[in-house]
Amino acid sequence: METLVPRSTCHHTTIRIATGCPTEFIDLTARIEALVSQADLRFGFVNIQSLHTTAAIVLNEHEPLLLTDFETLLDRAAPQQAGYRHDDATIRRVNVTADERINGHAHCRALLLGSSVCLNVVDGRLQLGRWQRVFLVELDGPRARDISILMLGEGGR
């Protein structure tokens, strides 16, 4: 008889995504599922963390019209033309870079959406409901975006 002793496991990966539009929803679900499978994680957490202040991580349905509704929602909550002090070069003194963009709206939208999502893994499978998908939300693209993915829990067979 074989005794299965759970062993602690921990894996980390950074993935880079090149976005193509100012606002864009990039479905990461298949990539995350592949990482969980490769890591041989049986039970535990996957924390998916954007390393940016104008890109978010969210869960919702991958239906193209709904993604345009989300864009409308974000534009209502933090309109691009609302006049952000962050974008006022006449008064701004901190964190000014050579390639500074007009992106106060993007920071505000990221604040509302959140930077990371922590998901459960059970019996080797990422826990997602029928319609749930994991998205990187680009809010100030196009840019290269890095996402830190850490898996912690009990491993393998």
Rounded-to-integer distance, Cα 46 and Cα 36, Å:
8
- Residue 131 within binding range of a second copy, rule CB under 8 A: yes
Helix or strand run (H / E) with residue 7 = strand 7-18
27 pairs with which residues across the strands? Answer: 135
Structure-block tokens of residue 80: 């691009």
Contact residue for a second copy among 53, 80, 124, 143 (CB under 8 A): 53
Contact residue for a second copy among 3, 4, 64, 98 (CB under 8 A): 64
SS3 content of the chain, % helix, strand, coil (to 5): 25, 40, 40
Which residues in the 2-31 window bind a second copy by CB under 8 A?
6, 8, 10, 12
Rounded-to-integer distance, Cα 143 and Cα 135, Å:
16
Contact residue for a second copy among 21, 30, 118, 144 (CB under 8 A): 118
Concatenating the DSSP letter of every residue in 50-110 gives: E--SSEEEEEE---HHHHHHHHHHHHHHS-TTS--GGG-TTT--SS--TT----HHHHHHH
- Residue 34 within binding range of a second copy, rule CB under 8 A: no
Which residues in the 75-114 window bind a second copy by CB under 8 A?
76-78, 82, 84-86, 88, 91-92, 94-95, 104, 107-108, 110-114
Question: What is the smallest separation between the CB atom of 50 and a second copy, expressed in angstroms?
Answer: 7
Question: What is the smallest separation between the CB atom of 92 and a second copy, expressed in angstroms?
Answer: 6
- Residue 65 within binding range of a second copy, rule CB under 8 A: yes
Residues forming contacts to a second copy in the complex (CB under 8 A) are 6, 8, 10, 12, 43-45, 47, 49-53, 58-66, 68-70, 72-73, 76-78, 82, 84-86, 88, 91-92, 94-95, 104, 107-108, 110-122, 127-132, 146, 148-150, 152-154
